[in-house]
């Protein structure tokens, strides 16, 4: 079938093109995408800094309607509204433990943008292959093929253009608080970075009952939004030493969430911990990045953990967050700005400039 998609070919901008999409195989679902978040990982893949071949259709925070299901698919049917998240093998030890973000095949299934047999589902106008199945979905398009393990059914009462980012960025931040760190009521939290991931962590910390929440960033508008969302303190890292500021405010926090991917900030987040405190590291800008921590300080019961895409099965975590959104306790809509898919390059510019917290592409 003929679709429209944003293609990353290695240049400075995405190319919006007409492509041909194969029919779903027996184990695939055809989804008509209504919305898809634009994530930092998409931009890194477009630049070639992660192991994703190009040309490729990116997008891994999709939301839409099931249009067709393969003959071997159970549990889904045409007409269902779904959110999409990562792909996984479903059979390795971690998948069987309910932790598909740590699937042993995470890299090939999500970053290599092809089926397990090496095939792709897209062709361009010249008949040349275009990589599909990025994170099992390639949702920067009007339609795509996904594996059922990537899909989460949601009700008709929730706005897909708002909830699409739950597929990656939102569950990454919120899951770090709820699942990796298990933030306790009455505790203190420092969140480094007020992008979509960091602000999702903030909203989860509020829900968890943390009574002191410090948000650190360099963007005044984002810090103002953090205050609106429940931060008790904000630190402008462009004017002060953020680590010293957090220590001055709190004496050391029980939990720290680092969402910038900047190595120096990771080290600061660890240094801001109180004895017995725990820090969650959510991303890196370079695979070879190496943390530096004072060993004597770690001996005081401090711990550092990594966390991938919520540290829980998306099929479990996403419905939890959707319910909180329904209750008005997780106001994700305050982060989102929508753009037509055809304006993806404008969305990228506004995300990079800091003007937009979370861009969502719509069809």
Question: Which residue segments constitute the domains of the chain, with CATH numbers given?
Answer: 2-153+331-362 (3.90.180.10), 170-308 (3.40.50.720)
Which of 210, 200, 196, 191 has its CA nearest to residue 317? Answer: 200
Give every residue of the chain whose pLDDT is below 50, as ranges: none
Q: At what angle do helices 344-353 and 40-47 cross, to 10 degrees?
A: 110
Cα 2 to Cα 48: distance, rounded to the nearest angstrom: 27
Confidence (pTM): 0.95
Q: Looking at residue 331, what is its pLDDT?
A: 98
Closest by alpha carbon to 56, among 169, 4, 132? Answer: 132
Q: How far apart are CA 134 and CA 174, in angstroms?
A: 23
Q: Residue 285's pLDDT is what?
A: 63
Distances (CA, A) of 113 to 32, 106, 293: 19, 12, 36
Tens digits of per-residue pLDDT, 212-241?
999 999 999 999 999 999 999 999 999 999
């Amino acid at each position: 079938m003929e679709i429209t998609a944003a293609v990353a070919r290695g240049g400075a901008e995405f190319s919006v093109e007409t492509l041909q999409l194969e029919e779903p195989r027996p184990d695939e679902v055809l989804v008509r995408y209504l919305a898809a978040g634009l994530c930092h990982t998409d931009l890194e893949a477009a630049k070639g800094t992660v192991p994703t071949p190009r040309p490729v259709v990116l997008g891994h925070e999709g939301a839409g309607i099931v249009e067709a299901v393969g003959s071997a698919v159970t549990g889904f049917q045409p007409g269902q509204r779904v959110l999409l998240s990562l792909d996984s093998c479903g059979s390795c030890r971690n998948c069987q433990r309910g932790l598909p973000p740590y699937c042993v095949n995470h890299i090939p299934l999500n970053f290599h943008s092809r089926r397990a047999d090496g095939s792709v589902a897209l062709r361009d106008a010249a008949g040349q292959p275009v990589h599909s199945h990025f994170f099992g979905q390639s949702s920067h398009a009007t339609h795509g093929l996904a594996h059922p393990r990537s899909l989460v059914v949601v009700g008709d009462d929730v706005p897909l253009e708002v909830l699409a980012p739950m597929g990656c960025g939102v569950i990454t931040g919120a899951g770090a608080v709820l699942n990796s760190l298990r933030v306790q009521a009455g505790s203190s939290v420092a969140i480094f970075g007020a992008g979509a991931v960091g602000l999702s962590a903030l909203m989860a910390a509020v829900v968890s009952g943390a009574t002191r929440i410090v948000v650190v960033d360099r963007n005044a508008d984002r810090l103002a939004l953090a205050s609106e969302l429940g931060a008790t303190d904000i630190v402008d890292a462009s004017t002060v030493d953020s680590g010293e500021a957090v220590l001055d405010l709190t004496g050391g926090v029980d939990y720290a969430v680092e969402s910038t991917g900047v190595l120096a900030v990771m080290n600061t987040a660890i240094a801001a911990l109180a004895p017995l405190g725990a820090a969650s590291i959510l991303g890196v800008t370079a695979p070879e990045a190496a943390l530096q921590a004072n060993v004597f300080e770690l001996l005081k019961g401090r711990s550092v953990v990594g966390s991938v895409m919520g540290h829980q099965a998306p099929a479990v975590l996403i419905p939890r967050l959707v319910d909180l959104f329904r209750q008005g306790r997780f106001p994700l809509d305050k982060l989102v700005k929508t753009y037509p898919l055809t304006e993806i390059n404008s969305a990228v510019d506004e995300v990079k400039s800091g003007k937009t917290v979370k861009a969502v592409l719509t069809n």
